[in-house]
Amino acid sequence: MEELTKQQIVLVTLLVSFVTSIATGIVTVALMDQAPPGVTQTINRVVERTIEKIVPAPNTNQSAAVVTKETVVVKEDDLVVEAVEQNTKSLVAIFSFPSGGDGKTGKFLANGLIVSKEGLIATDSSILTPIIDENNSLILQTFKAVLSDGTSIAIIPTSSAASSDSISIFKPDTDITVKLPIFTPASIADATSLKLGQTIIALGGEKISVATGIVSNLSGSATTDTLGSATSTTSTPSEVKPKIIKTDILSSGKTLGNIIVNLSGDVVGIRTASSGNTDNLYMPASLISQALSKSAVSKAIK
């Protein structure tokens, strides 16, 4: 060793280290093959659990980072705010303008709900009731919808509402409106998912106001007595007796077309003239889907 130079000593050291590492690996593999199954299973489980807790660390010089789990507490107030923000862009104010007028002074009639990206709007069908003047002459009307951002568009009904229909579908009047805005359709949910005591949110009014409450009753049905008109005998069972959603919300006013939504932001009910004269009753949102299925315009879009 004394006769070796420094470089030769370094090379010998590296050679010894290399041979030692190879020998250690061979001995380890041989021992693992002879070990009982329980030992290898324990080692495998440790490795698997370690892998599950390690993921690559993005954009860092480190090769891995430990995954940490944390519990996020969601407050009901936050859900209410999100549901309101989600639906205000889908709710419009509908105004009527009598023929022969100045076209600027309109009367607020109801709220409407945007239900498609093409701008189809669902609202209470009673706003299509003919208006007769003192001379027993029909007053023709035009309709406009004002969106949440203040944009006003002319709208026309897709068809005349039948006497048994609670919802009418309007579409943008493209003959008058030069450029259509971007529409944000609402998400409609089946009201059968509602439970007594469930939190719901009411939105409506010419200037949209919000009220919160709970579902207080689901037992009522829209019969001849409560609707004021007989339902069609050819309707499907879900159309014959749709349940009325009763709430404890009394501060949202009696605006036709205002809606109730759940904490997920889905529309579950809409107020119509057939709901009754009190402001805490709503018809199920499934009526909107039924009206859309009857609309020739929605079929053409599909």
- What was the pLDDT predicted at 45? 43
φ, ψ dihedrals at 260, nearest 5°: -120, 140
CA dihedral 43→46→51→52, nearest 10 degrees, is 140
Instruction: Give the integer Cα–Cα distance in Å for 120 and 294.
Output: 13
Residue in this structure with the two tokens 């100045």, named with its chain if needed: 102
Per-residue confidence (pLDDT) for residue 274, from 0 to 100: 80
Residues 212-251: pLDDT tens digits? 999 998 865 544 333 333 333 334 444 445 678 999 887 6
Token pair recorded at residue 103: 């076209």
Q: Would you state the pLDDT for residue 85?
A: 94
Average pLDDT over residues 191-196: 87
CB of 123 closer than 8 Å to CB of 273: no
Give the confidence band of 108 by pLDDT, cuts at 50, 70, 90. Answer: very high
**3-state DSSP assignment of residue 278:** coil
What secondary structure, in 3-state letters, does 239-250 show?
HHCCECEEECCC
List where CATH 2.40.10.10 sits in the chain.
Answer: 89-172, 191-301
Domain 191-301 sits in CATH at 2.40.10.10
pLDDT at 48: 44
What topology is assigned to 89-172 in CATH? Thrombin, subunit H (2.40.10)
Q: What is the pLDDT of residue 147?
A: 94
**pTM of this structure:** 0.65
Instruction: Yes or no: say if 262 and 189 are a contact pair by the CB < 8 Å rule.
Output: yes
